[in-house]
């Protein structure tokens, strides 16, 4: 039986609050950086125990300008090395290449799917500058271990938290422990604004540099159109007017509009509901699918961690069963995605050659894993249908 509507991997949960805020933007006539962007940044930073948030047009843009700012601040050179997990969305490592730095992969833990801290030290060289831990699928990395290694080897940390927000682990909010942490609000993420990204930091110098990088490399004296309104002397007004068209580094055009910020603000204001629904959905799915543990590795949450369940990852014990099961689910209107394959992608095979044997856990997930949705649009009926569909498949294909 096919489900009457698609059970997708993501959903845009638009309530009256989002509509109210977007209409306020439209009525105001102000589409560029203004009070909604400022409020969204402020609340998002506070929700993650950070001082500054910088809004951009994507998680990738945020990561790219974050690494550019770190490279500039600490005088890193082209070709210096950045450690990245061998399983992540391709943007994590692309932004390293885009910053003319060298990607050094580290294998993942086969249970959490996050970077394995025990494998990091072996790849550190005199040229290593930073680690990018990626909090994949909604589960934070083991930051205690990663921070200890970073401290020992004097490395900086850029957290890729594009798939995880608002949850805590090891007593800290996700994204609150590195030098910068970046988030995505793209479709199917936890807070959805269509396109969008945020980078959080406690370092005001990095925050200003990131703002400049995503605003054409502009002088930080004039980063938004109100900056000339907050002055009380003609001398300082002249400073601003004079430097309004002053570009002090090569930057990008990665700004976002007030409409994305309005959508984000409405969702951060009901943040608990966003995460709690996902946790409940995941618990029900795990409950129902547990009896298939002979065939499936279901997501687990280590003690002391919270999982935001941006999606519900499943790893099959038998690789040969993965694609037939995916087709069985898709034919019944249950949408699936591979678990962010990276090292086997055509472009990466061209760049790095075949890395599968060097990163067996990432390779295993590439061949055995996929995910389904876990969001608010999936209710009791959809969860039951998903569970029954899995059971039906394995009753016929044991
Ligand atoms: C781990 C990870 N990093 C980076 C990104 C890039 O975010 P965006 O699509 O907003 O550019 C994504 C997006 O899916 C992601 O999953």
Same domain (yes/no): 356, 243: no
**Atom 8, ligand 1: which residue's CA is nearest?**
59
The predicted-structure confidence for 211-241, as pLDDT tens digits, reads as follows 999 999 998 876 666 777 777 788 887 877 8
Q: Do 137 and 232 belong together in one domain?
A: yes
Which ligand 1 atom is nearest residue 340's CA?
16
Q: How many domains does the chain divide into?
A: 2
Domain assignment present for residue 35? The answer is: yes
Domain harbouring 324, CATH code: 3.90.1150.10
Residues 193 and 155 in one domain: yes
> Does 345 lie in the same domain as 218?
no
**Ligand 1 atom closest to 91 (CA):** 4
> What's the 85 CA to ligand 1 centre distance in angstroms?
14
**Is the residue at 3 inside a domain?**
no
* Probe target for ligand 1 pocket from 85, 86, 89, with the most ligand atoms within 8 Å of CB: 89
Q: Are residues 187 and 237 in the same domain?
A: yes
Atom of ligand 1 nearest to the CA of 197: 10
Ligand 1 centre to CA of 183 (Å) is: 8
The verdict on 108 and 252 lying in the same domain is yes
Q: Are residues 188 and 279 in the same domain?
A: no
Q: Do 285 and 259 belong to one domain?
A: no
* pLDDT of amino acid 224: 66
Spell out the per-residue pLDDT of the chain, length 398, in tens. Answer: 899 999 999 998 899 999 999 999 999 999 999 999 999 999 999 999 999 999 999 999 999 999 999 999 999 999 999 999 999 999 999 999 999 999 999 999 999 999 999 999 999 999 999 999 999 999 999 999 999 999 999 999 999 999 999 999 999 999 999 999 999 999 999 999 999 999 999 999 999 999 999 999 998 876 666 777 777 788 887 877 877 788 999 999 999 999 999 999 999 999 999 899 999 999 999 999 999 999 999 999 999 999 999 999 999 999 999 999 999 999 999 999 999 999 999 999 999 999 999 999 999 999 999 999 999 999 999 999 999 999 999 999 97
Asked if residue 240 belongs to a domain, the reply is: yes
Domain membership of residue 1 (yes or no) is no
Residue identifier of the C-alpha nearest atom 7 of ligand 1: 59
Residue 197 burial (C-beta neighbours within 10 Å; 0-12, 13-18, 19+): buried
Do 60 and 123 fall within a single domain? yes
Residue 9 lies in a domain: no
Domain of 131, CATH number, reads 3.40.640.10
Q: Is residue 7 part of a domain?
A: no
Q: Quote the ligand 1 centre to 61 CA distance (angstroms).
A: 9
Residue 5 placed within a domain = no
Measured from the Cα of 184, ligand 1's closest atom is 10
Q: Are 149 and 247 found together in one domain?
A: yes
Report the residue among 55, 57, 59 best suited for mutation to probe ligand 1: largest number of ligand atoms under 8 A from its CB: 59
How remote is the CA of residue 29 from the centroid of ligand 1, in Å? Answer: 30
Q: Quick check: is 372 in a domain?
A: yes
Q: Which of 268, 291, 309 is the last residue of a domain?
A: 268
| Best of 134, 162, 365 for a ligand 1 pocket test (most atoms within 8 Å of beta carbon) | 162
The CA 91 to ligand 1 mean position distance, Å, reads 6
Q: What is the 3-state secondary structure (H, E, C) of the chain?
A: CCCCCCECCCCCCCCHHHHHHHHHHHHHCCCCCCHHHHHHHHHHHHHCCCCEEEEECCHHHHHHHHHHHHHHHCCCCCCCEEEEECCCCHHHHHHHHHCCCEEEEECECCCCCCECHHHCHHHCCCCEEEECCECHHHCCCCHHHHHHHHHHHCCEEEEECCCCCCCEECCEECCCCCCEEEEECECCCCCCCECCEEEEECCHHHHHHHHHHCECCECCCCCCCCCCCCCCCHHHHHHHHHHCCCECCCCCECCCCHHHHHHHHHHHCCHHHHHHHHHHHHHHHHHHHHHHCCCEECCCCCCCECCCCCCEEEEECCHHHHHHHHHHHHHCCECCEECCCCCCCHHHHHHHCCCHHHCHHHHHHHHHEEEECCCCCCCHHHHHHHHHHHHHHHHHCC
Ligand 1 center from residue 62 Cα (angstroms)? 10
Could you tell me if 26 and 130 lie in one domain?
yes
| Ligand 1 center from residue 292 Cα (angstroms) | 31
Distance of CA 89 from the midpoint of ligand 1 (Å): 6
282 and 211 in one domain?
Answer: no
The domain in which residue 370 lies consists of: 272-396
Q: At which of 205, 239, 268 does a domain end?
A: 268
Q: Which residues line ligand 1 (CB under 6 A)?
A: 58-60, 88-89, 91-92, 134, 160, 162-163, 184, 186, 197
Whether this model's pTM surpasses 0.95: yes
Q: Which two tokens stand for residue 18?
A: 């989002």
pLDDT the model gives residue 231:
76
Residue 269 CA, ligand 1 centroid: distance in Å: 23
Query: What pLDDT was estimated at residue 1?
Result: 86
Picking from 238, 253, 268, the residue at the C-terminal end of a domain is 268
């Amino acid at each position: 039986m096919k489900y009457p509507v698609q059970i997708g991997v993501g959903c845009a949960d638009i309530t009256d609050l989002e509509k109210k805020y977007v209409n306020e933007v439209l009525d105001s006539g102000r589409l560029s950086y203004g009070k909604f962007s400022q409020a969204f940044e402020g609340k998002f930073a506070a929700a993650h125990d950070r001082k500054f948030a910088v809004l951009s047009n994507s998680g990738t843009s945020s990561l790219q300008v974050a690494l550019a700012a770190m490279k500039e601040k600490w005088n890193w050179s082209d070709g210096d090395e950045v450690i990245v997990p061998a399983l992540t969305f391709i943007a994590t490592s692309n932004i390293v290449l885009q910053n003319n730095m060298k990607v050094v992969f580290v294998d993942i833990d086969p249970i959490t799917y996050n970077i394995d801290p025990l494998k990091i030290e072996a790849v550190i060289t005199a040229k290593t500058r930073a680690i990018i831990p990626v909090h994949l699928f909604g589960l934070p990395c083991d930051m205690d271990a990663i921070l200890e290694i970073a401290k020992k080897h004097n490395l900086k940390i850029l957290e890729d938290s594009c798939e995880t927000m608002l949850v805590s682990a090891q007593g800290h909010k996700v994204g609150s422990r590195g030098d910068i942490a970046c988030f995505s609000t793209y479709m199917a993420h936890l807070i959805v604004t269509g396109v969008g990204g945020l980078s959080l930091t406690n370092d005001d110098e990095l925050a200003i540099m990131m703002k400049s990088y995503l605003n054409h490399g502009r002088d930080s004296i004039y980063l938004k159109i109100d900056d000339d309104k907050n002055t009380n002397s003609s001398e300082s007004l002249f400073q601003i007017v004079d430097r309004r068209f002053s570009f002090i580094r090569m930057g990008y055009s990665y700004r976002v509009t007030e409409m994305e910020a309005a959508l984000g603000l409405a969702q951060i204001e009901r943040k608990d509901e966003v995460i709690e629904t996902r946790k409940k959905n995941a618990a029900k799915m795990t409950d129902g699918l547990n009896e298939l543990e002979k065939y499936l590795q279901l997501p687990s949450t280590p003690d002391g961690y919270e999982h935001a369940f941006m999606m519900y990852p499943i790893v099959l014990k038998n690789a040969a069963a993965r694609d037939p099961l995916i087709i069985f689910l898709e034919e019944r209107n249950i949408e699936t995605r591979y678990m962010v394959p990276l090292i086997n992608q055509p472009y990466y095979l061209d760049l790095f050659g075949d890395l599968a044997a060097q990163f067996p856990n990432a390779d295993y997930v590439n061949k055995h894993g996929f995910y389904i949705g876990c969001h608010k649009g999936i209710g009791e009926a959809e969860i039951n249908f998903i569970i029954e569909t899995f059971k039906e498949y394995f009753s016929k294909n044991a």
